[in-house]
């Protein structure tokens, strides 16, 4: 198979770096172009990136020359797929132009998440939402597919298997890592030995995105799921990995073992390189999941960080409580968009 050439937009940022790392040696996609802010145009990626992930940037990526946003360059390079880690205001313009120009855009940006024709896609959760792409392509030759916000992505995977049990309400409190704030993000003097109960727009994102992702696709549109979600978002001094305490209320009492079994059995998408064998890993230890220990859950190698980990179940009448951990820049960002692109390819959209 010939690899498809791809570009990363916003490649020097926190999620952009994760795209670059996860695309290194990817069996389907060949990273050919990194677009970043003008001030770095023409410089080697390896010379300008403030690499946050540990070790060094992939050697091939280091050699790439950074480009500005220029559609001519995309076409000269033969790029077909674009991964976007742009801030929302810039994404608004660039992603639209790319989609109109025939590119398949897989975006971590929230710019188009609530466009009626753009899916917020998590293949294990709402695979049929990819059909929204068909609607987009009635009017233009390319399309946009988004991944959810970092904390939403873990939540919807955990909730998916519970949907059959008349779930009426979700109360979620988050423990969100520093890398989720981008770079430079939170000043150290504010968060050292502290927690901050505020992340701009984050609670709204969780509440709105979850309803769309869990919504039903019918009559060429997504009908949002009608549930109450109350989210409380807190930044904690942890480098990577969002922990979430989730309390789900059902219409009727449910059996905890059914709930666990449903989670354990959530099917994975087969035959995609970034798809984890098990989307949800259950831990029985009293003190798991933990960011430190469960961050890179998932196999094979290329899917490390793509599984979420859940544990500490308890039931209180109609309420079920559990904790989940999601790698915020892998499953909660770049990794999910790469999986989306792989899935689009499997479904014939590439």
CB closer to a copy of itself, 228 vs 277: 228
String marking each residue 204-233 x if it binds a copy of itself according to CB under 8 A = ------------------------xxx-x-
Set 6, 26, 129, 150: catalytic member: 150
The distance of closest approach from Cβ of residue 344 to a copy of itself in the complex, given in angstroms and rounded to an integer, is 30
String marking each residue 122-161 x if it binds a copy of itself according to CB under 8 A = ----------------------------------------
| CA neighbor of 324 nearest in space, from 122, 180, 154 | 154
String marking each residue 3-42 x if it binds a copy of itself according to CB under 8 A = -----------x----------------------------
Cβ–Cβ < 8 Å for 113, 68:
no
Beta-carbon contacts of residue 52 (< 8 Å; ≥ 6 apart): 14, 17, 179, 183
Axis-axis angle for helices 202-213, 150-159 (nearest 10): 40
Dist CA 79 CA 205 (whole Å) = 31
Q: Which of 85, 295, 326, 330 binds a copy of itself (CB under 8 A)?
A: 295
Q: Which of 237, 256, 266, 273 binds a copy of itself (CB under 8 A)?
A: 237
Beta-carbon contacts of residue 268 (< 8 Å; ≥ 6 apart): 124, 275, 276, 277, 278, 279
Cβ–Cβ < 8 Å for 222, 212:
yes
CB closer to a copy of itself, 76 vs 285: 285
Dist CA 131 CA 292 (whole Å) = 37
The number of residues that bind a copy of itself (CB under 8 A) is 59
Applying CB under 8 A, does 252 fall inside the site for a copy of itself?
no
233: annotated active-site residue: no
Report CA-CA distances (Å) from 197 to 136, 208, 251: 38, 19, 30
| Burial (CB count within 10 angstroms: exposed 0-12, middle 13-18, buried 19+), residue 84 | buried
Dist CA 303 CA 266 (whole Å) = 16
The distance of closest approach from Cβ of residue 233 to a copy of itself in the complex, given in angstroms and rounded to an integer, is 9
Q: Which of 163, 293, 345, 350 binds a copy of itself (CB under 8 A)?
A: 293
DSSP 8-state code for residue 318: T
Q: Which of 19, 74, 323, 343 binds a copy of itself (CB under 8 A)?
A: 323
CB closer to a copy of itself, 121 vs 229: 229
242: annotated active-site residue: yes
Q: Which of 41, 90, 137, 236 binds a copy of itself (CB under 8 A)?
A: 236
Torsion of CA 257, 259, 260, 264, to 10 degrees: 130
Applying CB under 8 A, does 61 fall inside the site for a copy of itself?
no
Q: Which of 77, 191, 266, 269 binds a copy of itself (CB under 8 A)?
A: 191
Q: Candidates 52-60, 79-87, 122-130, 260-268: pick the segment binding a copy of itself (CB under 8 A).
A: 52-60
Dist CA 105 CA 259 (whole Å) = 35
């Amino acid at each position: 198979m010939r690899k498809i050439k791809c570009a990363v937009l916003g490649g020097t940022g926190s999620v952009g770096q994760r795209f670059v790392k996860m695309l290194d040696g990817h069996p389907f996609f060949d990273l050919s172009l990194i677009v970043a802010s003008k001030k770095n145009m023409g410089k080697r990626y390896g010379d300008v990136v403030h690499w946050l992930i540990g070790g060094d940037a992939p050697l091939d990526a280091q050699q790439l020359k950074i480009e500005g946003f220029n559609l001519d360059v995309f076409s000269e390079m033969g790029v077909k797929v674009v991964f976007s880690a742009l801030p929302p205001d810039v994404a608004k313009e660039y992603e639209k132009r790319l989609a109109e120009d025939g590119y398949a855009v897989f975006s971590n940006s929230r710019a188009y998440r609530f466009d009626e024709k753009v899916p917020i896609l998590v293949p294990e959760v709402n695979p049929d939402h990819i059909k929204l792409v068909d609607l987009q392509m009635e009017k233009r030759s390319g399309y946009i597919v988004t991944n959810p916000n970092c904390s939403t992505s873990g939540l919807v995977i955990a909730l998916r298997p519970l949907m059959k049990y008349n779930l009426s309400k979700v109360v979620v409190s988050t423990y969100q890592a520093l890398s989720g704030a981008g770079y430079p993000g939170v000043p150290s003097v504010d968060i050292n030995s502290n927690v901050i109960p505020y992340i701009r727009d984050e609670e709204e994102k969780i509440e709105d995105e979850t309803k769309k992702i869990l919504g039903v696709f019918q009559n060429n549109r997504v009908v949002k799921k009608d549930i109450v979600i109350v989210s409380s978002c807190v930044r904690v001094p942890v480098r990577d990995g969002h922990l979430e305490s989730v309390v789900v209320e059902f219409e009727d009492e449910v059996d905890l073992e059914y709930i666990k079994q449903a989670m354990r059995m959530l099917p994975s998408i087969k035959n995609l390189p970034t798809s984890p064998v098990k989307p949800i890993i259950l831990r029985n230890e009293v003190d798991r999941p933990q960011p430190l220990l469960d961050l890179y859950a998932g196999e094979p190698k290329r899917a490390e960080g793509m599984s979420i980990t859940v544990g500490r179940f308890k039931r209180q009448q109609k309420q079920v409580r559990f904790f989940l951990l999601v790698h915020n820049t892998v499953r909660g960002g770049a990794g999910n968009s790469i999986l989306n692109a792989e899935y689009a390819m499997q479904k014939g959209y590439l």
